[in-house]
Chains A and B, each alone.
Chain A
């Protein structure tokens, strides 16, 4: 088990539902990330938080809304999703603050299916 835990592991939702993904890191890291992994595509960075401040929003649609209440917790609130949003959503953390050379530690991911 890694030091980054994500819940739920699997989620099926309709396009009109609202749900949230949760991530918690137990490593004392200062930066947290949301990535999207679709089949046959590279990992896509969605959001970066450093010391609880959002430092990166990689042109993500507003139907995805991140929240970082403290340096250990990260949420991704989902609403009015589309079937093409079905993917593995990975949370990661890094020690210092997301700078050059930072190594990422990933959670196990949430496999999301949008019907």
Chain B
């Protein structure tokens, strides 16, 4: 079982819709969770971090964490074509472990 698992996609949503990106992790003791965005040909950049169960909102982005289900998600409201990128889920387990990323395509 992969330590951090994401569906590679691509996930295609129309402009203005909600994009839902999901991530599961294998180690129950993980405490810190991150979402990075990586545009094609660019380096990853941190967009959200979440440490406790529940929702954390930042503008159009909402991170959701459910430790009992070992599940973390990222919701992007009012998706824009500029949100088209690969979204990497990362979990701390002694060190930062990345998933392979989900490619999001927002179509005008």
Q: What are some 12 contacts across the A-B interface (CB < 8 A)?
A: A2-B43, A42-B2, A42-B88, A42-B97, A42-B100, A45-B95, A56-B95, A102-B96, A103-B49, A104-B44, A106-B43, A109-B43
> Which residues of the partner chain A approach B96 to less than 8 Å between Cβ atoms?
45, 102, 104
Number of interface residues of B (CB under 8 A): 22
Residue numbers in A under 8 Å from B88 (CB-CB): 42-43
Contacts of B95 in A (CB 8 A): 45, 48, 56, 98
The answer for the CA separation of A107 and B44 in the assembled complex, in Å, is: 8
- Complex CA distance for A2 and B45, rounded to whole angstroms: 10
**In contact, B101 and A106 (Cβ under 8 angstroms):** no
Contacts A43-B98, A101-B31, A102-B96 known; list 18 others, CB within 8 Å.
Answer: A2-B45, A42-B2, A42-B4, A42-B99, A42-B100, A42-B101, A45-B96, A100-B31, A100-B32, A100-B92, A101-B49, A102-B92, A103-B34, A104-B44, A104-B46, A105-B46, A106-B43, A106-B45
Counting contact residues on chain A (CB < 8 A from B), the size range is 20 to 34
User: B42 contacts the other chain (Cβ, under 8 Å)?
Assistant: yes
Which residues of chain A have a CB within 8 Å of any CB of chain B? 2, 40-43, 45, 48, 56, 90, 98, 100-109
Q: How far is the CA of A54 from the CA of B8 in the complex (A)?
A: 33
In the complex, which of the residues B2, B51, B95, B97 has the most CB atoms of chain A within 10 Å of its own CB atom? B95
Per a CB cutoff under 8 Å, which of A100, A101, A106 touches B44? Answer: A106
Q: A42-B98, A42-B100, A100-B92 known; A108 and B34 CB under 8 Å?
A: no
A43 to B101, CA, bound (A): 9
Q: Which residues of B sit under 8 angstroms from A40, Cβ to Cβ?
A: 8, 100
The residue in chain B whose Cβ has the minimal distance to the Cβ of A6 is B43
Q: How far is the CA of A43 from the CA of B98 in the complex (A)?
A: 6
Restricting to B6-46, which residues have a CB under 8 Å from any CB of A? Answer: 8, 31-32, 34, 42-46
Set A101, A106, A108: member contacting B51, Cβ < 8 A = A101
Tell me the complex Cα distance, A40–B99, Å: 10
